[in-house]
Amino acid sequence: MGARAETAEITGAYCPHCHLLVERGVRAPWPDRPLRCAHCQLLIGAGRSRTQPSGEPGAKGTAAGVFSRRAKRHGDEDDDPTTSPDEVLEGIRTVAGAMGERPERLLMVDYQQLAVVDPDIPPLSDVFAAFGSWKSARRQAAEAG
């Protein structure tokens, strides 16, 4: 019997908790050792990433709940946010435009997906610090835009 050829698929790695893309162009199974998701900060066990985001109803809502709680906690710790409300509104409009959505229809998880990789997009903690809620921020971004 000959040696078995390694045929690991090159794919994207999605968090099993928040279902967002964590890494592009990796060989499954990924990661080699446990690491924290850049989006939800939950631990992804060795080889536990997904090759596709979850298509189950409610997956994005679950992720939004994780992001909301985390952003609110982080916002409470940050007494001096560095982002102005106008910059937050512009960030929401920018992401909405990139996603082909109106600001009032933009999902928090879609905003987070870009905010984590683009330093020009204010983090969710700044959104909550400036407006208290995602819905309020979206609504104001739509009205001001």
Q: Could you read off the pLDDT of 19-66 as tens digits, one per residue?
A: 888 888 999 899 999 999 887 778 999 999 988 877 665 666 666 666
In a domain, 112, yes or no: yes
In a domain, 114, yes or no: yes
In a domain, 93, yes or no: yes
Number of domains in the chain: 2
Burial-class residue 82 by CB neighbours within 10 Å (0-12, 13-18, 19+).
Answer: exposed
In a domain, 37, yes or no: yes
Cα 57 to Cα 127: distance, rounded to the nearest angstrom: 26
Given a cut of 60, is residue 2 above it in pLDDT? no
Question: Does one domain contain both 39 and 91?
Answer: no
Q: Domain limits at 103?
A: 80-144
